[in-house]
């Protein structure tokens, strides 16, 4: 294995959330809230925020526990992606018996 391959592999392992960060069609994927899992069809996955280099149009799925998953396509040359996740079961009810006592 060449030194470049070893260094590139080590860099990828030390940069959490990054699939590929070389120049070209690099896109940053962020989410609100952060820490969502991003699955890129036939490519890989990462956790937001993350940076990916797209070679062709890819199907993305962004998901986080307690939130509705979102699916869409991203093309090389497109803008960075920011996903606002929606709660899976939002509620306006609050059970006062479950709240802690405040001094």
Beta bridge partners of 63: 37
Question: What are residue 56's phi and psi, to 5 degrees?
Answer: -145, 175
* Residue 17 pLDDT level (bands cut at 50, 70, 90): very low
Tokens of 51: 């940076």
Residues 60/39, Cβ–Cβ less than 8 Å: yes
| pTM for this model (two decimals) | 0.62
Query: What pLDDT, on the 0 to 100 scale, is given for residue 53?
Result: 86
CATH of domain 17-88: 2.60.40
- Phi, then psi, of 69 in degrees rounded to 5: -70, 145
8 Å CB contact between 93 and 42: no
Q: Domain ranges in the chain?
A: 17-88
In angstroms, what CA-CA distances link 17 with 38, 89, 99?
Answer: 9, 27, 35
Q: What is the pLDDT of residues 62-100, one digit of tens each?
A: 999 999 999 989 888 778 889 999 998 766 665 555 555
């Amino acid at each position: 294995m060449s030194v470049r391959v070893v260094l590139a592999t080590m860099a990828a392992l030390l940069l959490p959330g990054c699939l590929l960060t070389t120049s070209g069609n690099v896109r940053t994927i962020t989410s609100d809230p952060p820490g969502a899992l991003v699955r890129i069809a036939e490519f890989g996955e990462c956790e937001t925020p993350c940076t990916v280099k797209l070679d062709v149009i890819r199907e993305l799925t962004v998901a986080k526990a307690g939130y509705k998953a979102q699916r869409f396509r991203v093309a090389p040359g497109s803008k960075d992606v920011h996903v606002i996740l929606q709660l899976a079961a939002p509620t306006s009810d609050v059970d006062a018996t479950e709240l802690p006592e405040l001094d």
